[in-house]
């Protein structure tokens, strides 16, 4: 699937919560909404980043909002899924993680 530095749990998360057919070698740009800094990252990293940002907003509004991000997200697993997505970005592109999420 993607780089070997990912664990089987990371791969499972990617399969269950991110769109299919992503290519980590295909680069896209994301912007830090606070600093305005940009980062170029692979599609898997970008999708994990997007998941973090969507879930971050949804967590403020409760389980119904989180379920709109993904129906498998519940109050009981939201934080661990949020962290899993952040760590995937960090494992795949630590510079982009520092620019966008840190």
Q: What is the predicted pLDDT for the residue at 102?
A: 85
For the residues of 79-98, what is the DSSP string, one character each? HHHHHHHHHHHHHH-HHHHH
Q: What is the Cα–Cα distance from 93 to 81, expressed in whole angstroms?
A: 18
Give the mean pLDDT per block of 10 residues along the chain (102 residues): 77 96 95 95 97 96 95 96 97 95 89
Q: What is the predicted pLDDT for the residue at 4?
A: 67
Q: pTM of the predicted model, to two decimals?
A: 0.92
Q: What is the Cα–Cα distance from 27 to 25, expressed in whole angstroms?
A: 6
Query: Would you kindly state where each structural domain of the chain is located, as residue ranges?
Result: 8-32+43-100
Identify which of 13, 80, 23, 88 has the alpha carbon closest to the alpha carbon of residue 49.
Answer: 88
């Amino acid at each position: 699937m993607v780089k070997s530095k990912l664990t089987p749990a990371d791969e499972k998360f990617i399969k269950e919560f991110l769109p299919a057919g992503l290519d980590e070698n295909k680069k896209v740009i994301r912007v830090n909404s606070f600093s305005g800094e940009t980062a170029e990252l692979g599609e898997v990293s970008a999708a994990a980043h997007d998941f973090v940002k969507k879930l971050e907003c949804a967590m403020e509004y409760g389980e119904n909002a989180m379920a709109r991000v993904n129906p498998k997200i519940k109050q009981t697993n939201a934080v661990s899924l949020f962290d899993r997505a952040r760590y995937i970005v960090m494992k795949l592109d630590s510079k982009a993680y520092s620019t966008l999420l840190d």
